[in-house]
Structure 1
């Protein structure tokens, strides 16, 4: 009987998941740039990227709506992997070890760690906040249905959620480069077994368990 060889790389993201992620990322960049162009006179020069002020005002809400839709599809795909578990609560007690990269002191992690899961839910909250406030502000289509006071509050909250989202995405991108191999996973769709063992040991065991069951 031939011994089955364990593959050196294991799949982490499907082609659909990666496409969904990069569509969200591209639409976020466009929404952020067009939003910043309208945010303050100091950033008004960014309207040139979208064909001028009127076009920027027209395109921004449509880009934002597209971003919300593709993100919602991504969130539905990832929801089951981001439920907070007992090991996540334990992981959160070791923030010092996380910051100092002492992963040997951390509890075993599933497909995502507690930090990634908290970011996931914070992104959902910000996206929903941006959508709801954006609907109230959307001229000329929807703003006419709301009082001026509601539009003013929506503008303030929209800027707040946008700032929060931009900060979270910066953290997300930084973490992707900080954890060597994480960016490669979203580009190639697979990771090495060593990477999975170091960062997501419990997830690796789940993958191996599924592989053994599938091979029966």
Structure 2
């Protein structure tokens, strides 16, 4: 049986009832750091976007503090996502099951799990969020450095800086939409948030949503027990 669907830290925690470890503490800490940093970046970015939203700068102690803090929060986000990207990229590579999952998107929305393919650790929707966030964060980092005049005043010309500002704003809006999609999916799929708070999921949840991953973890646990 293939062993590409689970990480080294994935294992059965309990058999009565069945509880599986899904995310280690470092992954969870990194995830919540990224989530909080993203929210702070969105709030400060919206404050810069329109005078009507400038009051949001009060959350950061004023406009000057928000303007100074925003790019450094962007660096924290980029580093955090790089760490999680390196860790999770093998499990997020596209597979044939993902194509079948997308073709049955109506069944996904209707929660007709019996009509869906057995999946590894992540489905196509989760993989989309993973790659979309990575691409958008990379775009935001590159364009952010181009418009960071305090440290890179002569990096690009004024016309190029204006284009970078436009691209930065567009990427930020797209990232906001992807972030909302991610949060909605986590709430909509009951039991998912537990994975990022406690680090574990129930056997029933794993059987329903990621059966192939469950079989791999269970099979490895049996081998470790027999040894």
For the criterion TM > 0.5, the same-fold answer is: yes
Structure 2: how far apart are the matches of 1:186 and 1:140? 37
2:109 is aligned with 1:91: no
Runs (5+) with no aligned partner, structure 1: none
Aligned residue number for residue 69 of structure 1: 79
| Contact kept? 1:143, 1:151, Cα under 8 Å | no
Segments ≥4 residues shifted beyond 4 Å: 4-7
Aligned residue number for residue 220 of structure 2: 210
Aligned residue number for residue 101 of structure 1: 111
Structure 1: how far apart are the matches of 2:64 and 2:191? 42
2:64 is aligned with 1:54: yes
Number of residues paired by the alignment? Answer: 213
Aligned residue number for residue 37 of structure 1: 47
Which of 189, 193, 198 is the aligned partner of 1:188? 198
Q: Compare the two structures and name the one with the higher helix fraction.
A: 1
CA RMSD, 1 decimal: 1.3
Structure 1: how far apart are the matches of 2:56 and 2:47? 5
Which of 167, 173, 176 is the aligned partner of 1:163? 173
Q: TM-score, normalising length from structure 1?
A: 0.95
Structure 1: how far apart are the matches of 2:32 and 2:206? 22
Shift of 1:5: 5.0
Aligned residue number for residue 111 of structure 1: 121
Shift of 1:126: 0.4
Structure 1: how far apart are the matches of 2:17 and 2:87? 25
Deviations 1:49-90 (A, max 9, x none): 112111111110001111111111111111111011111111
Aligned residue number for residue 12 of structure 1: 22
| Contact kept? 1:185, 1:191, Cα under 8 Å | yes
Runs (5+) with no aligned partner, structure 2: 1-13
Which of 185, 196, 202 is the aligned partner of 1:175? 185
| Contact kept? 1:135, 1:143, Cα under 8 Å | no
Shift of 1:144: 2.3
SS at match of 1:154: helix
SS at match of 1:145: coil
2:67 is aligned with 1:82: no
Aligned residue number for residue 155 of structure 2: 145
Deviation larger for 48-57 or 184-193: 48-57
| Contact kept? 1:97, 1:105, Cα under 8 Å | yes
2:123 is aligned with 1:120: no
| Contact kept? 1:97, 1:103, Cα under 8 Å | yes
Shift of 1:142: 1.0
